[in-house]
Chains A and B, each alone.
Chain A
Amino acid sequence: MSSPHQQKTSIRLEACGKTFGDGTLALEPMTLDIKGGETIVFLGPSGCGKTTTLRIIAGLESPDAGGRIFFDDQEVTNLPIELRNVGMVFQSYALFPNMSVEQNIAYGLKIRKLPREEINSRVEEMLDMMHIEELRHRTVDQLSGGQRQRVALARAIAVCPKVLLLDEPLTALDALLRERLRIDIDRLLRGLGITTVYVTHDQAEAMSLGDRIVVMDKGRAAQVGTPREIYFHPKETFVADFIGTMNRISGVAADGQFTTTGGSMSWQSDQNGSVDLMFRPENAELTDNQSNAFTGTVATSFFLGDRTRIIIEGIGDEKITIETGNRVELVQGDEISIAIDPESLVSL
């Protein structure tokens, strides 16, 4: 690349909150450090404040009084978006319909008044990188959704931004294409090493792309951590439920044993009395053993090809979902026993 992102910009949000004109609190004051070169994903349901946070970083919204934003050591709180040198990909792509693919990619470079040869070579480079050379003369309405996506990325990256901001870039695409572009984007971001803020409501996207994930709920960061931390050690129920499937069993803990309807297992903990434990579907397996296991009846089972998903009743109060790679054929009402990996149990 002609102008590599040698300096990796870090971002610091300091007590950035946002209250909209009508008084609704979109974002509680949030303090967050984003390391240079890191890909951070804001994940949450719609209306959780993730896009607002992104727009504050971009400079499209200003934080409430008291909030400050830094790119490295430079405060950018009062800098409008056009002076922040960010690259942004919008959910609707926001490609300019009055320009060709080439002109779209070149636009930011023209604004920067680069010499023509430099613009041309940079545009070539981007077309090549995104595999869209043959689209260069097309207008936006002649492009498919996936192609628009690539052009939008190329346009954002072309200007060598300090920070790359992606607002649900894959949401408008169908599932198959989304999967493929996710791989492309991942490779691209690793290759560029540019600080990236990615907003999505899709947990699979968040898990696969993010170095760290900020799970957001109702305008607040519920948990910040690596995908593994978030998945294995959720700090609150919302996070546990939002990422993947989480089973919940309530029972009683006493003397290194956890007991609930359907059985008991050994569980070392200083907690005594009634507890809520959680575990993931893949952390339980079918067993013939009656001890140290729970027994329930099959409510439903789905054959998914590589694995079978079984919904079980009668263990704890709620239904439990497990997944097994074993070749089992179960019908409703079958009695089965499961053993849960004690390491995987989470208690909040």
Chain B
Amino acid sequence: MLPVRLPGRRLLLQDSGWYKMKHSYRFYLQLGFTLLVCAFLIVPVIMSVMAGITENYFRGITSGMTLRWVVEVWDLYADTIFLSILISIACLICTIVLGVPAAYVLSKRQGRVARMIEELLTLPIAIPGLAIALALIITFGGFRDFRSSWLFILVGHVLYTLPFMMRSVLAVMSSADFKSLEEGAASLGAGFWRRFFDIVIPNCRSGIVAGALMVVTLSMGEFNITWMLHTPESKTLPVGLADSYASMRLEIGSAYTIVFLLMIIPLLIGLQRYGQPRSIISKPVEENIITNTGKS
């Protein structure tokens, strides 16, 4: 609050019991609303988790708590969990190997085509997963072995997540400072490959980490494409989840949710923490002219 010199105004501020009250009333209203929204979002998750560790959901929590359902989920669906992990890691490797060089090339090109491709990178978010899956089936459905292997799902996931990796890396690479880093390395005699591995890759690490968390999270939870592409032999966690909701006891489906949450929540926290690609050039620290003078 600025100090107010006007006498009339000061009177108003000093005599501000009503003003203060209004402030706190507003504050609590906002807090209450925020908590309400949080509850609206979180309560269903908690309910589901509770259902997963309750002996009998219909008799409620009084029937006792158990980890039996979680164990049962593990027995029934362990392979879907492992497949999900396998696919998300494979997907990550593919997006890094394909996405980082692709982003690099895009950042170098000035032309209209490059800008167009950059725009197109948002497309997979807009196209329904089912459509992507359908296109894949039409194109590759004829290759029987490929069609029934997990690699088919991987292709779908890579298609879907690659833009996220590329955009994240591109954000770091296209800064002017990044270009001068590479020019700096070139001026010191570094050829293309040296520059790429010594300077480009290490300095876009923040972009790669952000992209990687995004890719793994998306791949882990992806349902639309996977559901279309899966076969009884290649089922991922979310597909298994749908399966268990449809055909098992409610408690098993809920226990399955717990497993899924345990895998995905650490990733989401990581995404929050490391997810923002940071600027590669930091602001200089405060100049200490006096010490410098002594030195020179």
Is B a genuine binding partner of A? yes
Chain A residues in 8 Å Cβ range of B177: 92, 94
Per-residue interface assignment for chain A, residues 1 to 36, with 1 indicating a CB less than 8 Å from any chain B CB and 0 otherwise: 000000000000000000001000000000000000
Total A-B pairs, Cβ < 8 A: 100
Q: Are B203 and A112 in contact (CB-based, < 8 A)?
A: no
Interface centre among B186, B187, B189, B296, by most chain A C-beta atoms within 10 angstroms, is B187
Is B184 part of the contact surface with A, judged by Cβ < 8 Å?
yes
Chain B residues in 8 Å Cβ range of A90: 180, 183-184
Per-residue interface assignment for chain B, residues 124 to 157, with 1 indicating a CB less than 8 Å from any chain A CB and 0 otherwise: 0000000000000000000000000000000000
Q: Are B281 and A58 in contact (CB-based, < 8 A)?
A: no
Q: How far is the CA of A83 from the CA of B194 in the complex (A)?
A: 14
Is A329 part of the contact surface with B, judged by Cβ < 8 Å?
no
| Min distance, Cβ B174 to any Cβ of chain A, angstroms | 15
Q: Are A155 and B188 in contact (CB-based, < 8 A)?
A: yes
Interface centre among B177, B189, B285, by most chain A C-beta atoms within 10 angstroms, is B189
Q: Are B181 and A94 in contact (CB-based, < 8 A)?
A: yes
| Min distance, Cβ A56 to any Cβ of chain B, angstroms | 13
Q: Are A145 and B284 in contact (CB-based, < 8 A)?
A: yes
Whether A94 touches B180, Cβ cut-off 8 Å, given contacts A21-B110, A143-B284, A144-B286, is yes
Interface centre among B176, B194, B288, B295, by most chain A C-beta atoms within 10 angstroms, is B295
Whether A80 touches B287, Cβ cut-off 8 Å, given contacts A98-B202, A180-B296, is no
| Min distance, Cβ B263 to any Cβ of chain A, angstroms | 31
Contact size range, B: 20 to 34
Is B94 part of the contact surface with A, judged by Cβ < 8 Å?
no
Chain A residues in 8 Å Cβ range of B288: 144
Is A293 part of the contact surface with B, judged by Cβ < 8 Å?
no
Q: Using CB atoms, name the residue of chain B closest to A134.
A: B295
| Min distance, Cβ A131 to any Cβ of chain B, angstroms | 4
Per-residue interface assignment for chain B, residues 179 to 200, with 1 indicating a CB less than 8 Å from any chain A CB and 0 otherwise: 0110111111111001000110
Q: Are B284 and A85 in contact (CB-based, < 8 A)?
A: no
Q: Are A184 and B180 in contact (CB-based, < 8 A)?
A: no
Is B282 part of the contact surface with A, judged by Cβ < 8 Å?
yes
Q: Using CB atoms, name the residue of chain B closest to A21.
A: B110
B191's contact among A21, A82, A140, by CB below 8 Å, is which? A82
Is A304 part of the contact surface with B, judged by Cβ < 8 Å?
no
B203's contact among A60, A98, A111, by CB below 8 Å, is which? A98
Is A148 part of the contact surface with B, judged by Cβ < 8 Å?
yes
| Min distance, Cβ A226 to any Cβ of chain B, angstroms | 27
Interface residues of A in 276-330 (CB under 8 A from B): none
Is A346 part of the contact surface with B, judged by Cβ < 8 Å?
no
A141's contact among B188, B202, B282, B292, by CB below 8 Å, is which? B282
Q: Are B187 and A174 in contact (CB-based, < 8 A)?
A: no
Per-residue interface assignment for chain A, residues 204 to 234, with 1 indicating a CB less than 8 Å from any chain B CB and 0 otherwise: 0000000000000000000000000000000
Q: Are B185 and A107 in contact (CB-based, < 8 A)?
A: yes
Q: Are A108 and B281 in contact (CB-based, < 8 A)?
A: no
Contact size range, A: 35 or more
B287's contact among A111, A112, A141, A146, by CB below 8 Å, is which? A146
Interface centre among B110, B205, B281, by most chain A C-beta atoms within 10 angstroms, is B281
Is B280 part of the contact surface with A, judged by Cβ < 8 Å?
yes
Per-residue interface assignment for chain B, residues 204 to 215, with 1 indicating a CB less than 8 Å from any chain A CB and 0 otherwise: 010000000000
Is B14 part of the contact surface with A, judged by Cβ < 8 Å?
no
Chain B residues in 8 Å Cβ range of A142: 285
Chain A residues in 8 Å Cβ range of B293: 180
Q: Are B280 and A87 in contact (CB-based, < 8 A)?
A: no
Is A159 part of the contact surface with B, judged by Cβ < 8 Å?
yes
Whether A96 touches B184, Cβ cut-off 8 Å, given contacts A144-B284, A144-B287, is yes
Q: Are B180 and A92 in contact (CB-based, < 8 A)?
A: yes
Q: How far is the CA of A85 from the CA of B292 in the complex (A)?
A: 31
Is A176 part of the contact surface with B, judged by Cβ < 8 Å?
yes
Q: Using CB atoms, name the residue of chain A closest to B195.
A: A82
Q: How far is the CA of A148 from the CA of B190 in the complex (A)?
A: 21
| Min distance, Cβ B111 to any Cβ of chain A, angstroms | 8
A143's contact among B189, B285, B289, by CB below 8 Å, is which? B285
Chain B residues in 8 Å Cβ range of A88: 183-184, 187
Q: How far is the CA of A95 from the CA of B187 in the complex (A)?
A: 12
Q: Are A145 and B296 in contact (CB-based, < 8 A)?
A: no
Is A81 part of the contact surface with B, judged by Cβ < 8 Å?
yes
Q: How far is the CA of A90 from the CA of B194 in the complex (A)?
A: 20
Q: Using CB atoms, name the residue of chain A closest to B199.
A: A96
Q: Are B282 and A107 in contact (CB-based, < 8 A)?
A: no
Chain A residues in 8 Å Cβ range of B286: 144
Is A177 part of the contact surface with B, judged by Cβ < 8 Å?
yes
Interface residues of A in 40-73 (CB under 8 A from B): 58, 60
| Min distance, Cβ A33 to any Cβ of chain B, angstroms | 23
Q: Using CB atoms, name the residue of chain A closest to B194.
A: A111
Q: Are A97 and B292 in contact (CB-based, < 8 A)?
A: no
Chain B residues in 8 Å Cβ range of A112: 189
Chain A residues in 8 Å Cβ range of B184: 88, 90, 94-96
Q: How far is the CA of A148 from the CA of B180 in the complex (A)?
A: 15
Is A340 part of the contact surface with B, judged by Cβ < 8 Å?
no
Whether A144 touches B285, Cβ cut-off 8 Å, given contacts A90-B180, A94-B184, A159-B189, is yes
Q: Are B186 and A81 in contact (CB-based, < 8 A)?
A: yes
Q: Are A82 and B190 in contact (CB-based, < 8 A)?
A: yes
Q: How far is the CA of A142 from the CA of B190 in the complex (A)?
A: 25
Q: Using CB atoms, name the residue of chain B closest to A149.
A: B284
Q: Using CB atoms, name the residue of chain A closest to B205.
A: A98
**10 examples of A-B residue contacts, CB within 8 angstroms:** A58-B187, A83-B189, A88-B183, A88-B184, A96-B185, A97-B282, A107-B188, A107-B198, A111-B188, A147-B284
| A contact residues vs B (CB 8 Å cutoff) | 21, 58, 60, 80-83, 85-88, 90-92, 94-98, 107-108, 111-112, 131, 140-148, 155-156, 159, 165, 173-174, 176-177, 180, 184
